[in-house]
Structures are given as structure tokens and as C-alpha cells.
């Protein structure tokens, strides 16, 4: 052990169990918020794909994909995007007590995922993550 470093202290089993329960509870609440969003906006065919993830730079990031580029653009200009933000904010606020930077929304289209990422949503989400990290380090 290096001099000056704190001694290793194993996590007590009760503390580890509590942390695992808390994480599972938070995951369930996040899944419920995502399901409510899809119930409100997905069934009408407005949303093609939706992912809601906890983040570091903001508490949560919602990735909302429409079928076409035109539908994604219409979401930005029609007021639908703000209705979606309001809906998600109301459901996510109890999950995180931050006053600022609760939610970021990213709007895209399935057509763009197919065109630019060979249909891989993993690559699409990863490419944005890498781009954002690059912006922060430049």
C-alpha cells in the first residue's frame, strides 16, 4: 500500500444491498417514465424509437427518433418538442433533485440512423457521446 493512501475498507453487505436496491428502484422509476412517454406520444405513430438514459452532464437525456427527417423537423417547429419536454420533466423531477440541467432532448429520425449508421442505434448514440466528449475537451 502506498504511504498516505487510505486503507481498503470493504463495503459492508448491508450497505451493498441497500445500494443495489436503490439502483433497482431508480431504474424502475426511469422505465416507468419512459413507458408513460411512449404511451402518450408513441401510440399515435409520432415516435418511432425512444430511449431515456441517466447522464453525467445532465441528469437525464431523452433520445427521440421519428420515422422521417421531415417528422423530426416538424417536431422542432410545431411545439411538440416543448410538450414532450414538459411531459418528461414532470415525471423526472421526482427522480433527481437538481434544479438545473435535469433533462436534455435529442431529436433525430430513423431515416438518418439508417442512412448514416447502417441502422444501428448503438452507433448513433455512441457517435453523439463521442462528439460531446470531444467538444468538452477542446
pLDDT over 70 at 116, yes or no: yes
φ/ψ of 123, rounded to 5, equals -65, -35
The pLDDT tens digits of the residues spanning 45-93 come to 679 999 998 888 888 899 999 999 999 999 989 999 999 999 999 988 8
In degrees, rounded to 5, the angle at the alpha carbon of residue 89 between the alpha carbons of residues 88 and 94 is 110
3-state secondary structure of 23: helix
pLDDT over 70 at 137, yes or no: no
pLDDT over 60 at 113, yes or no: yes
Which residues, at least 6 apart from 21, have a Cβ–Cβ distance to it below 8 Å? none
> If you write DSSP's letter for every residue of 58-120 in order, what string do you get?
SSEEEEEEESSHHHHHHHHHHSHHHHHHHHHHHHHGGG---SS--EEEEEEEHHHHHHHHTT-
**Three cell numbers, residue 23:** 439502483
Tell which wins on pLDDT, 97 or 10: 10
Least confident of 26-30, 91-95, 96-100, 132-136: 132-136
The pLDDT tens digits of the residues spanning 20-50 come to 888 888 888 889 999 999 999 887 667 999 9
Amino acid at each position: 500500500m502506498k504511504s498516505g493512501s487510505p486503507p481498503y475498507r470493504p463495503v459492508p453487505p448491508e450497505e451493498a444491498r441497500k445500494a443495489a436496491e436503490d439502483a433497482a428502484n431508480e431504474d424502475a422509476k426511469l422505465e416507468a417514465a419512459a413507458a408513460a412517454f411512449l404511451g402518450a406520444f408513441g401510440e399515435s405513430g409520432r415516435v418511432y424509437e425512444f430511449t431515456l438514459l441517466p447522464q453525467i452532464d445532465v441528469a437525464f437525456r431523452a433520445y427521440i427518433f421519428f420515422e422521417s427527417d421531415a417528422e423530426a423537423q416538424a417536431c422542432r417547429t410545431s411545439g411538440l418538442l416543448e410538450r414532450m419536454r414538459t411531459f418528461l420533466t414532470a415525471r423526472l423531477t421526482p427522480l433527481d433533485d437538481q434544479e438545473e440541467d435535469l433533462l436534455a432532448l435529442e431529436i433525430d429520425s430513423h431515416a438518418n440512423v439508417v442512412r448514416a449508421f447502417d441502422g444501428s442505434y448503438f452507433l448513433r448514440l455512441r457517435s453523439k457521446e463521442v462528439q460531446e466528449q470531444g467538444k468538452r475537451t477542446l
